[in-house]
Amino acid sequence: MKSLFDKVSHSTSKIVTRHYSTSFSLGISFLHQSFRQPIYNIYGFVRLADEIVDSFHDFDKATMLEEFTKETFLSIERKISTNPILNSFQEVVNTYQIDHALIAAFLRSMKMDLVKKEYTEEGYKEYILGSAEVVGLMCLQVFTEGNRQVYEQLKPQAMSLGSAFQKINFLRDLNADFVGMGRMYFPGLNMEQLDETVKAQIEEDIEKDFNDGLVGIKKLPKKARLGVYVAYIYYRSLFNKIKSVKAHHILQERVRIPNPQKVMLFAGSYVRNSLNLL
């Protein structure tokens, strides 16, 4: 009975999301109920691809990613996969007519993680487009429910928001990426060059993306606005904390938001949204 397998597939995507990202899971819970499972399905797919390139060090990651890519598009074509994560993902892709070019761009960025260790300005932009901006656009296609006019209107802001989130992740994970993976995403930068001036320049770039992203959040359909705003507030708080610490601290320790503080942030977001104070 396929309906039972679909239910198991949905549960799998939800479990993956909750185990890998407490913050993102809480954000999803503030979306309208009709959007929650589709976003779980997208996150499960993104997370699984990311795990292949970031975690499976004792295995042939290149072959695994190639097989995963082929199975992804085959599952979309067939409208089924024996892989529960891909079965969930193909469902949301086919239901909301998610652009296959977005999926291809995301998988290209995952492939870049297998070979690239340092980035030029062009490569940096390409990686952010594929690893973050297109994921935001996949979600936006769900949120706009087939309204192409609204999607096109909000597309630039959704890309800016995804870009801001990814750049903050780069700053937060700078030490882990460089020491653990040998990666440096910021173009032309090495660990010795990150001083207060360079850090401020990176933060200024993120601030611009954040401001553009907030403009788009305010224009989102009501069913999606609160959940996306919660994610914005979490990342804004993380960003503010990163800005408040010295560059050398970023190089030594991962900046975090404690769980009790996250709960307070999310509660405040709910109140501001309810009072139309965004």
The predicted model gives 250-277 an average pLDDT of 63
- Of 240, 209, 228, nearest to 266 by C-alpha is 228
- Confidence band (pLDDT; 50, 70, 90) for 276? low
This prediction's pTM: 0.91
Q: Regarding the domain delimited by 2-274, which CATH topology (the fold level of the hierarchy) does it fall under?
A: Farnesyl Diphosphate Synthase (1.10.600)
**Which of 34-48, 52-66, 91-105, 256-270 comes out lowest in average pLDDT?**
256-270
**Which of 113-127, 182-196, 239-253 comes out lowest in average pLDDT?**
182-196
The residue type found at 3 is S
pLDDT value at 273 more than 70: no
The predicted model gives 156-167 an average pLDDT of 96
In which residue are the tokens 């979309």 written? Answer: 76
Model confidence pLDDT, tens digit, residues 203-215: 999 999 999 999 9
Model confidence pLDDT, tens digit, residues 27-75: 898 899 999 999 999 999 999 999 999 999 999 999 999 999 999 999 9
Q: Side-chain half-sphere of 144: how many Cα atoms within 13 Å? A: 22
Query: Where exactly are the structural domains of the chain?
Result: 2-274
Cβ(120)–Cβ(187) under 8 Å? yes
Rounded Cα gap, residues 39 and 138, in angstroms = 9
